Amino acid sequence: MLSEKNKSQWLQLKKYSEEEQTMSNNNPLLEAFKQAAYPVIGHGPRNLQVLQEAIGNMNGQQESDIYGTGKIIEEFQAKMANFLGKEAAVFFPSGTMAQQIALRIWSDEKGIKKVAYHPLSHLEIHEEDGLKELHHIETVLLAEKSRVIELSDVQSMDEEVACLLLELPQREIGGQLPSFETLVEISNYCREKGIKLHLDGARLYEVLPYYQKTAAEISQLFDSVYISFYKGIGGIAGAILAGDEAFIKKSKVWKRRYGGDLISLYPYIVSADYYFDQRVNKMGTYYDGAKELAQLYNELPDVSTRPMEPVSNMFHVHFRRSKEEIESILVEVYNKTGIGLTNHLREIGDEECYCEVSLGDRYVDVPKHLLEKAFQLINEMLKAKK
């Protein structure tokens, strides 16, 4: 269990993402990042152009979806069920809603209001205890915060749970992953013990190049799967929950109870579908970029990435220097080179800070000589301030 102190620390480290940070004012790092000619992370700015581009060539006479029915939503759900190798899928406005519902369904089915997941899972630290407050479901936190869940953690669990949730990749620890063999072993163990296995695959596409598997090959190890359309894919918002027909039927009832059955969800669906087609096959390029960029960071003094070698397009960069110091170095480097590396740093005590890196379309357009110059400058400044 996380102590109350640890938990509130994590809650204070309020979730950050590029899209959230674009809203804040009086932030010199963010301002310098916005001015940088070559932002390195993400796909592009989160502005209305994202929707305009997605909808641009569509037939304006096409009918909207209405309360979960209609061609536009049904075809997309079928396409995603097929992509994930599941019988059925349902589109949700958010992953938060989809996953709480998935865990509720499995808890009801088993008659046990208890589920297990990682101490830094999205449900535990970013959802204001929705699962506990709304469903009175207890949680068992498996593994230390700094590493992913292994088979032995599941085997040594002494409490009976309805469901185990695995997050691939584990975002809060730099996107670490268990081996594929471990996934297979955990899946077999859960099936043997009657524990449902749910995949928080918010960034599932992003780990496919590392595993060298299809989404369906990974999904078949799980009873239910959630994927997101605004992280690696870069859509506006939205999620798919997939599983067998009976599970999906129940999830639609819960979607209505939650108020998630919006009369029309098509702006989210259209953008999800458009950017899915654009980007799902580019994950290998983003992954290669992440390995290259992580190497540049790891050559700097007092800097290391987590994991050392990325296993997806994302990783964390830890600076063993104060946040103020790194911020002032980065602002200077952005101004001198036009390279924007990150827009946000999180403090870990007085002498350490870190940022999250997630690569998308932008990285390939960054001139290599300017990127190298930026790292050379950071190197010099870190050495000078030692």
Ligand X SMILES: Cc1ncc(COP(=O)(O)O)c(C=O)c1O
Closest Cα to residue 383, out of 303, 273, 272? 303
* Structural contact between residues 113 and 136, judged by C-beta atoms closer than 8 angstroms: yes
Closest Cα to residue 166, out of 191, 185, 188, 149? 149
Query: Which ranges of the chain would DSSP assign to H, the alpha helix?
Result: 4-12, 18-21, 28-35, 49-55, 71-84, 95-110, 122-125, 130-135, 151-155, 180-193, 204-211, 215-219, 245-257, 266-279, 283-298, 323-337, 368-384
Interface residue with ligand X, options 163, 202, 333, 371 (CB under 6 A) = 202
**Degrees (nearest 5) of the Cα angle 61, 95, 160?**
145
Interface residue with ligand X, options 21, 94, 304, 376 (CB under 6 A) = 94
Specify the stretch interacting with ligand X by CB under 6 A; choose among 20-28, 93-101, 258-266, 286-294. Answer: 93-101
Partnered with residue 91 across adjacent β-strands are 240
- Separation of alpha carbons 41 and 81, rounded Å: 30
Q: Which of 167, 327 has the CB closer to ligand X?
A: 167
Minimum CB distance to ligand X, residue 95 (Å)? 3
* 312 lines the binding site for ligand X (CB under 6 A): no
Residue 66 has phi, psi (to 5 degrees) of -130, 115
* 21 lines the binding site for ligand X (CB under 6 A): no
* 356 lines the binding site for ligand X (CB under 6 A): no
Minimum CB distance to ligand X, residue 197 (Å)? 16
Q: Which of 333, 360 has the CB closer to ligand X?
A: 360
Interface residue with ligand X, options 43, 86, 104, 122 (CB under 6 A) = 122
* 196 lines the binding site for ligand X (CB under 6 A): no
Interface residue with ligand X, options 42, 68, 95, 232 (CB under 6 A) = 95
Minimum CB distance to ligand X, residue 17 (Å)? 7
Residue closest to ligand X, measured at CB: 95
* 271 lines the binding site for ligand X (CB under 6 A): no
* 96 lines the binding site for ligand X (CB under 6 A): yes
* 103 lines the binding site for ligand X (CB under 6 A): no
Total binding residues toward ligand X, as defined by CB under 6 A: 10
- Interface map 153-192 toward ligand X (x if CB under 6 A): --------------x---x---------------------
* 239 lines the binding site for ligand X (CB under 6 A): yes
Strands 314-319 and 303-306 come out as antiparallel
Interface residue with ligand X, options 65, 124, 153, 200 (CB under 6 A) = 200
Give residue 95's identity as a one-letter amino acid code: G
Of residues 209-228, those binding ligand X (CB under 6 A)? 228
* 251 lines the binding site for ligand X (CB under 6 A): no
Residue 114 has phi, psi (to 5 degrees) of -150, 135
* 143 lines the binding site for ligand X (CB under 6 A): no
In this structure, how many other beta carbons lie within 10 angstroms of the beta carbon of residue 252? 17
Instruction: Give the sheet arrangement for strand 196-201, strand by strand.
Output: 88-92, 239-243, 224-228, 196-201, 163-167, 114-117, 138-141
Q: Which of 229, 375 has the CB closer to ligand X?
A: 229
Closest Cα to residue 177, out of 290, 285, 85? 290
Chain centroid to Cα 154, Å, comes to 23
Q: Which residues bind ligand X (CB under 6 A)?
A: 94-96, 122, 167, 171, 200, 202, 228, 239
